[in-house]
Amino acid sequence: MENARRYFLSFYSIKKQANHIIKKMGVLFLK
């Protein structure tokens, strides 16, 4: 059970980082 939680947390943080990068690229692209 603990492994599943750790896996979910790492997946969530990666998703957050990806969203941040996509937003940054979107801003650069729009300029």
Residue appearing with tokens 């937003």: 23
Number of domains in the chain: 1
**Radius of gyration of the chain from Cα atoms?**
14
pLDDT of residue 29: 83
Residue range of the domain that includes 13: 1-31
Threshold 0.75, pTM exceeds:
no
What DSSP designation does 31 have? -
pLDDT of residue 28: 86
Tens of pLDDT, residues 2-17: 899 999 999 999 999 9
